[in-house]
Amino acid sequence: MTIKGKAYIVAAYEHPLRKAPNHSVAQLHAEVAKGALDDAGLSRTDIDGYFCAGDAPGSNVWSMANYLNLNKLRHVDSTDMGGCSYLVHVAHAAEAIAAGHCNVALVTLAGRPNSEGSSGTQVRDRGVNLPDAPYEMPHSPVTINLYAMAAMRHMYEYGTTSEQLAWIKVAASHHAQHNPNAMLKNLVTVEEVVNSPMISDPLHRLDCCVVSDGGGAVIVARPEIAKSLKRPKVSIIGTGESTKHQMAGKVDLTYTGAAWTGPRAFEEAGIKPADIQYASIYDSFTITVLLQIEDLGFCKKGEGGKFVADGNLISGQGKFPFNTDGGGLCNNHPANRGGMTKIIEAVRQLRGESHPKVQVPNCTLALAHGTGGAIGHRHGSATLIMERE
């Protein structure tokens, strides 16, 4: 069964706060849920499907359903794939709608790592049942080190340079300057990126994403409901999800799970990478973006460095506009999980609601891609392709 054209994203809302010391995480979830409902012109009682992940407080999905008073639910899903969970949720919501399990599905994300002083850099032991904990945790793995290993390997294999990676941050800053809510609004240069403090060789401070509070929500609905609302119609036409791990020792740090999820999503959508007019690419670090661009088929493996250089990612200047809200590198990374914001900005682009300085003219096809976990050891990947009708 294909989900192509079976469901529409009818609402997208991003919380304006980047630091919320006086909010609870549950309150942030409630505020983004209300924002999405208002955006669609729907009410709480219209929601009969609810999706959340590990950022939601409480013991499970029922805790947030109770807090939000979602008393008409027929379908729930608490799949947790880290930062890409919310792209997976949109795909699962579309599948549930196509199967008749629900009509209107709400997906929420929220968190307070900025207020709580949690950078998300330490890979935490998630319990004694984690299979790899006895072997990895004694060495205190740190997230940025895992990404730095991937960056260093890509440099070794393909000649990628720090200056090429820096162009990704430069592009994000060009976009963030037009976002009043972005954490980092100042333009940066390649020189400033490579001269910022080295955190884990070869990644510098400005190669890393921000840490923010906030969150976001989207609503997915049946076609007939979407067509009855007074909002632009954004159809879900292709999805893909998978995991990449240690492969029983056959570790290759030069690619991500996008190498599998991208082709599947493009096949279902019936289009090719060259058809995409805008892309939201998960940007926990600059190397994350480069690897995903290659794996999704926007350029050949090993050519990502040249592809992202010289402003090619800057909207209105380059051929491949990405993360026009400033992304995780400059705008926000709520709950240390950036997948939701990737969907939201893609929806904005398709609706023609991005800032005029970064809006892609006549944008009808957009892609959002996310990762969860860490590309240096184990991670999830999810791809979502959307079309404005």
Q: Render pLDDT for 338-370 as a digit per residue (tens, 0 to 9).
A: 999 999 999 999 999 999 999 999 999 999 999
**8-116+213-233: CATH, from 3.90.1150.10, 3.20.20.150, 3.40.47.10, 3.30.43.10:** 3.40.47.10
Give the SS3 label for residue 207. Answer: helix
List, in order, residues 6 or more apart from 117 with CB less than 8 Å away. none
Q: Is the pLDDT of residue 126 over 60?
A: no
Asked whether the beta carbons of 377 and 150 are under 8 A apart, the reply is no
The number of beta carbons lying within 10 Å of the beta carbon of residue 246 is: 10
216 pairs with which residues across the strands? 14, 109
Q: How, if at all, do strands 49-51 and 104-111 pair? A: parallel
Q: Rounded to whole angstroms, how far apart are CA atoms 376 and 29?
A: 30
- Residue 385's pLDDT is 98
The band of 125, judged by pLDDT with boundaries at 50, 70 and 90, is: very low
Domain boundaries, the chain: 8-116+213-233, 140-210+236-388
In the structure encoding, which two tokens stand for residue 202, read together?
């070869």
Q: Rounded to whole angstroms, how far apart are CA atoms 337 and 28?
A: 14
Half-sphere exposure of 111 (CA within 13 A, CB side): 26
Percent residues over pLDDT 70 in the chain: 97
Cα–Cα nearest to 388, from 4, 6, 8, 3: 8
Percent residues over pLDDT 90 in the chain: 88
The band of 121, judged by pLDDT with boundaries at 50, 70 and 90, is: low
Cα–Cα nearest to 88, from 368, 289, 279: 368
**Among 52-61, 114-123, 349-358, the least confident range:** 114-123
Average predicted confidence (pLDDT) for the chain: 94
For the stretch 29-42, pLDDT in tens is 999 999 999 999 99
- Residue 93's pLDDT is 98
The band of 123, judged by pLDDT with boundaries at 50, 70 and 90, is: low
For the stretch 273-310, pLDDT in tens is 999 999 999 999 999 999 999 999 999 999 999 999 99
Q: Is the pLDDT of residue 195 over 70?
A: yes
Inter-CA distances, 312 with 2, 75, 185, 381, 386, Å: 33, 42, 20, 24, 22
Q: Is the pLDDT of residue 147 over 60?
A: yes
Is the pTM higher than 0.75? The answer reads: yes
For 367, phi then psi, to 5°, come to -125, 140
The band of 129, judged by pLDDT with boundaries at 50, 70 and 90, is: low
For the stretch 224-282, pLDDT in tens is 999 999 899 999 999 999 999 877 778 889 999 999 999 999 999 999 999 999 999 99
Radius of gyration of the chain (CA): 19
What is the sign, positive or negative, of the torsion defined by CA atoms of 303, 305, 306, 311?
A: positive
217 pairs with which residues across the strands? 13, 108
Give the SS3 label for residue 11. Answer: strand
Read off the pLDDT of each residue in 152-158 and give the average, rounded to a whole number.
98
**How far from the centroid of its chain's Cα atoms is residue 132's Cα?**
26
Q: Rounded to whole angstroms, how far apart are CA atoms 225 and 104?
A: 8
Read off the pLDDT of each residue in 318-332 and give the average, rounded to a whole number.
98
Read off the pLDDT of each residue in 142-163 and give the average, rounded to a whole number.
96
Asked whether the beta carbons of 103 and 6 are under 8 A apart, the reply is no
- Looking at CATH, the fold of the domain delimited by 140-210+236-388 is given as Peroxisomal Thiolase; Chain A, domain 1 (3.40.47)
Read off the pLDDT of each residue in 320-325 and give the average, rounded to a whole number.
98
Q: Rounded to whole angstroms, how far apart are CA atoms 233 and 223?
A: 9
